[in-house]
Each structure stands twice: as structure tokens, then as C-alpha cells.
Amino acid sequence: MAIFDISEYQTRLRKTKERMQEKGIEVLVVTDPANMNYLTGYDGWSFYVHQCLIVLLDDEEPFWIGRGQDANGAKVTTWLNENHIIPYRDHYVQSTERHPMDFVCNILKEIGKSNATIGLEMDTYYFTAKCYTQLKLGLPLATFVDATSLVNYVRIIKSDKEIEYMRKAAKIVEKAMQTGIDAIEEGVRECDVVAQIMHAQISGTEEFGGDYPAIMPLLPSGKKTSTPHLTWTDEKYKSGIPVILELAGCYNRYHSPLSRTVFIGEPDPKVKYLADVVIEGLNATLDFIKPGVTCEEVEEVWRKTIAKSGFEKESRIGYSMGLNYPPDWGEHTASLRPGDKTVLEPNMTFHCIPGIWLDDYGVELSESFRVTENGIEVFANFPRKLFVKNATNVY
């Protein structure tokens, strides 16, 4: 039931092994659930317990290692043969006496890799300090090296099928964003708006349904728009405040994020002015992007554009994104910021989110796009403006 042809997974695995060889890595332990999905198709809400893939240079398939009750999930969702699906017993789960990485050590010993050079995804959400200490303890003759983002950089250029999934995700986020904007009104509870948004995210379109996004809907309002990563409360919306919506559509774990800003009532002139600055900067930035330019050159266009209006922004304005699991839809590779000299290539995909957050208010507008042969394709088709909600109309 894997969602790509086996040949595509095999190509991904070959490219991963090429990077392993370049770094002198004989064994790669993959714990990032997005990277596990990318190489095998594995898709389950099982990342709250320890699981991994073992990639060997001399084996045609990775080994999936995970909790026993999740092994059938690996059989259902991956392209792996059953002899490459290795479950561990439940007494390893959240135990103070043993650890799943003890089990991984025993497997590596059995297949003759106890003294190999082993790459670890050292800086991922689900690889803990305890994982590392148990591997070091159980494999004292092995050499461990940091392989963080090794697979992520294989993922950075998308296949045509991946792009197709992201286009479907964009259709879902268009619906979810419109649903949210329509629902925001004075006197309506924030949580009720989000409930409608999440229903739209999951129900998707008549042609295809949605998946759960890696990030919950972010909807700061009022003074809370001065920071981007707040969710919602059960408070009722009031007139005279801005509301930021940062959402994503998700299809087969592939995302298309989108953000917009709404003002309830007659817009505050300073919020309207800030929105105009953000829109001008976003438009100039997107118009500049094409293959061959670098991430830092893209950010420079934004920085120079907003500087004409007296604004500056320290944080990055975008990042590579696509396939992922909670808590993030970003790929943790290229960023649109000073110093990132990554050269853009066709079928790289980014979320460009040049929000500006001031002391008491902020404005966000963003677009997700893919780099084409001569420019970009913006995934979502949604008005790029400050939305204004009055008692009787929207404009």
C-alpha cells in the first residue's frame, strides 16, 4: 500500500547510500519519521515510542525496527519484505530497565556491524540523549558520526508525484483558509473558528480528503499577533483587532502552508500600512526567484524592499518544506536567510513567510511554491491582501 512506486523508493535509497559513502558511513540509523516515510512509505502515529530504519550499504532494503504492535503497520504501508521488518517486545516500551536501542544494538551485532561507522540523526525530535548513550554503551567498538539531515537533503528536490501531492494539499489549504476567514466574526469564539478550519483540513475536497497537518492551526489575535506561534483560546473575537491565520493543507503527509491576516472592523491605519509593506516585499521576493539564485539572494530582495519603508526583520523568511510529521512541516535544510548559499533548483519547494511582528501587533502573508525551470509555481490560488471583516461584509 506504499503511495509511490517501488522504483521511486529505490531511487531515494540509492541517493541516500551515495551520501553515506561520501561521508564514510557504513550503517545509517534513521529515526526521523519523515525520513522513515520517505525511504519506505512507513506511515503511522507510532513515533511517540522509539523506532528506526537501519540502512546498510550492502543491503537492497532497509530494516524497519519498531514496537511489536506496529509491525503490521509496517507490513501494510511499506514496500519492505517481511524479513526486513523487525519488531521488539513491549517490555522495551518506556521501561526503566531496558531501552529499544539495546534491541537495535543486538540486531547490529547479529548482522556483523558492531564495529562499523554508524551515522546517527543526532539533532532530530525523536532521537534522545538516552538513545545515544545506549548505542554507545551497547556498541563500544563502533564509530558514531553525526548524519543529521543526510536524508533531508536527498528530499530537497521533489519528484513529479510529490509535487502532485503538494498541489492537492494546496487545494485543501485554500478551502481551510477561506473557511477560517468566513468564520471569524466579532462575538465568535476562537476555538469554534479553529474547529471549522480543522474540519476543512481533514475533509478536504470532494475529489480527495486531507491528512492531519504537522502543525496545528496558528491563530493569534489582537496583541498576540506580535508573535507567530500561538494557537487559540475559547475567547470571543472583538472588533478592532487583527487575526493571523497560518494553516496548511496536507495530503499523504505532503504539506502546502499558507498564511493570511484578517482585521475585524475598520482597519487600524498602522496595521494596514504594515500589511502593504509585507505584501510589497512578498511580491518582489516571489518575482525574483528562479533557478540558479541562492537562498540568501532571495532574502536580500525582501530585506531591501521593506527597508524602503523603514522596516527590518531579523528572522528568516522561508524554508524548504514538504513531507513531514508533527511538530513541523519544514524539512530542516535550506532557509531563505543571510548566509545560506543553497542554490535553488527546479522542484525545490519552499514556504516563504515574510511576516513582521512588532511589539503590539503583526502581519503575516505567505506562499508555498516550487521552483520551476524559469521561475516559480505558487501552489495556492488565494487573494494576497489584508482581509477586512465588518458586521455585514468582507473585503
What pLDDT, on a 0 to 100 scale, did the predictor assign at position 393? 58
Residue 19 is placed in which grid cell? 551520501
- Bond into 327 cis (ω within 30): yes
What pLDDT, on a 0 to 100 scale, did the predictor assign at position 2? 80
Report the distance separating Cα 3 and Cα 74, nearest Å.
13
Residue 186 is placed in which grid cell? 466579532
Percent of the chain with pLDDT over 70: 99
What pLDDT, on a 0 to 100 scale, did the predictor assign at position 395? 55
Residue 135 is placed in which grid cell? 548505542
pLDDT in tens, 146-202: 999 999 999 999 999 999 999 999 999 999 999 999 999 999 999 999 999 999 999
pLDDT in tens, 38-79: 999 999 999 999 999 999 999 999 999 999 999 999 999 999
Q: Which residues contact 378 (CB under 8 A, 6 or more apart)?
A: 286, 367, 368, 369
Q: Which residues contact 393 (CB under 8 A, 6 or more apart)?
A: none
User: DSSP states of 81-131 as a string?
Assistant: -GGGEEEE-GGGTT-SS--HHHHHHHHHHHTT-TTSEEEE-TTSTT--HHH
Residue 380 is placed in which grid cell? 495556492
pLDDT in tens, 287-315: 999 999 999 999 999 999 999 999 999 99
Residue 249 is placed in which grid cell? 493543507
pLDDT in tens, 214-237: 999 999 999 999 999 999 999 999
CB 346 within 8 A of CB 371: yes
Residue 163 is placed in which grid cell? 509535487
